[in-house]
Structure 1
Amino acid sequence: MKLQKLPLLRAFFSYLGRSPLRTRQRWAHVLGWLGRKLMRSRAHIVRTNLALCFPERSPQDREMWLRQHFYLLAQSVVDRGLFWFGQPSTILATIPVTGLEHIDELLQAKRKIILLAPHFIGLDAAATRLTMFLHESATMYTRQSDPDVDQLVREGRGRFNQVNLVSRHDGVRGLIRHLRNGIPVYYLPDMDFGIAGAAFVPFFNVPAATLLTTAQIAKTWDAAIIPITSRLDADTGRYHVEIFPPLADFPGEQTPQEATARLNALIETWIRSDPPQYYWVHRRFKTRPEGESKFY
């Protein structure tokens, strides 16, 4: 008889959602250690990315960051139980946020809004907190390979408001449809999806295939770009989310490639303040310019 995974997954994450912080932290320490030991290919990606982006730092420093990164990553996975099943009051206390007034002002002015969320560990925490503030939002979504996991993630992300999940197969056009209707778009600008619609833009002085979408949409639809960063405090278990004022004069007279380089430079600045917080397990430099050897 086929095992029904969805009820088990829901029960496990519901248990995590009801658990106190110390229990969730213990789970994260175990899963973070296992992740480093068992996910060797991902550990290799993290080491490669850190070496490319921080060649001036010692191997010992980068290895310390790797250990911290896997713990933070595990904590963010465990805490999805809290975001999907925990008490709203606990979620609000766990995700302090500053800068919501910037979004509110733009909503009152009926401006189109792109919430620019680079890949920090606290990405899902920030998204959950925003769904408790916004009535409706939209974001790109990559279908999970396991249908039970996919259903759980969809339910969790849409717990507090109407979240329009746009399949990556539908591309940017699906997001633009919601943007035109006045729905804020939660957009992740810093993944490597190949060279189509992208350009090689410096990221930590390494050419990185980067979509030009943010600059193009901002110019075409007069959309305000609001950066959002998040930081997980390993000691307190709190996710500190900062919402910045809209980027001034973006893209202005800059070309899409120049404006995208400006965004990458901003993301670099935020990463440098606390390197383990960035999502180093993704292959940010997967696509290479013609003739260059692959990093991974």
Structure 2
Amino acid sequence: MHPRWWSTWSGILAMWCVSRLPIRVQWWLGKVAGLLAYHLARSRRHIAEVNIRLCFPELSAAQQSALVRNAFIANGIGLLELGIAWFRNPAGLTDITRVHGLEHFEKALSEGKGVLLLGGHYSTLDLGGSLVTEFIEADVMQRDHNNPLMNAVMTRARERRYGIVLGARDLRGLFRSLKKNRAVWYATDQDYGRKDIVFAPFFGIPAGTITATSRIAERSGCKVVPFSHFRREDGPGYDIYFHPALEDFPSGNDLQDATLINKTIEREVRRAPDQYLWMHRRFKTRPDPNDPGFYGRR
């Protein structure tokens, strides 16, 4: 209740209020929020512009600009969808949600060694994850929010949807879940620095990619099942995709494994390029520390 948290509480209250609105109204408000961010958050827009220019060189300058704008709109909608994921029961959205390839997940789980759900940072991050738990049981690994109050609200909300919420460094908890033949939501598609990584191509650009996924699969014997979730463009609705478990994984070659992971995520991003988190500096860490960075001042 200290005044230092009043602004955070105001934001949480606003999210709760918006979550009670019809889904079409929320999408419209999210579009407005995304356009405001596009015009005001210049540093984030610059990062998105650099990423899209690197990853989609085949697009014209006008097409790249349109994709940047659409990415801000999609992520603006995703921001408002947090309210649904945190404060409402996503079961109310199952009638407008299509699940594809659930049999791939069930086959992997039948092996009895647990399943690592290889996800990505799509704009439907929280809502998509919540919707997934309406069809399967899963635990989740999360990176804590920098704001302790927001982190507490986020964690409490996820604890209502997932079986167990694991910290990003809680590998013991992760292995316990896999040993119980549970599924764990897991994402690797961000730049975590230079420790324990290899540089594998992502959209043709060498990207620092953690090798922990191979270590986890090797030690636990779990299956790694790629999955994704996107907002449908033809009206309020969502699609969830499960794919066959990665074959010959781990291979014993970290670079080969990381390349396969990045290629898999890239394939999913291409389904709906505007619904990816392009505002993250995915290529911040360069193979040679002396190489000029991509994200210098505009």
Match of 1:131 in 2: 133
> Is the Cα contact below 8 Å between 1:114 and 1:186 reproduced in 2?
yes
> Is the Cα contact below 8 Å between 1:100 and 1:243 reproduced in 2?
yes
Q: Secondary structure at the match of 2:194?
A: coil
Change (3 A) 1:38 1:69: same
CA–CA distance in 1 between the matches of 2:69 and 2:202? 23
Write the mapping of 1:1-296 to structure 2, written as runs, cut at 5 A.
2=3, 4-5=6-7, 7-139=9-141, 141-166=142-167, 168=168, 170=169, 172-252=171-251, 254-290=252-288, 291-296=290-295
CA–CA distance in 2 between the matches of 1:285 and 1:96? 33
Q: Secondary structure at the match of 2:277?
A: coil
CA–CA distance in 1 between the matches of 2:50 and 2:160? 36
Change (3 A) 1:94 1:5: farther
1:147-181: per-residue Cα shift (whole Å, max 9, x none)? 22112211222223323221x3x364543343234
**Which stretches in structure 1 are left out of the alignment for 5+ residues?**
none
Deviates more, 1:129-138 or 1:49-58: 129-138
Change (3 A) 1:76 1:94: farther
> Is the Cα contact below 8 Å between 1:215 and 1:256 reproduced in 2?
yes
TM (norm. structure 1) is 0.90
> Is the Cα contact below 8 Å between 1:95 and 1:126 reproduced in 2?
no
Change (3 A) 1:8 1:193: same
> Is the Cα contact below 8 Å between 2:117 and 2:183 reproduced in 1?
yes
Change (3 A) 1:212 1:294: same
Deviates more, 1:124-133 or 1:198-207: 124-133
Change (3 A) 1:274 1:135: closer
CA drift of 1:222 comes to 1.3
CA–CA distance in 1 between the matches of 2:122 and 2:284? 19
1:36-82: per-residue Cα shift (whole Å, max 9, x none)? 01111110000000111112211110100011111110111111212
CA–CA distance in 1 between the matches of 2:218 and 2:178? 13
CA drift of 1:10 comes to 4.1
Q: Percent identity at matched positions? A: 30
Considering only aligned residues, what root-mean-square deviation do their CA atoms show, in Å? 2.2
CA–CA distance in 2 between the matches of 1:280 and 1:272? 13
TM (norm. structure 2) is 0.89
Task: Give the partner amino acid of 1:176.
Answer: F
> How many pairs were matched up?
292
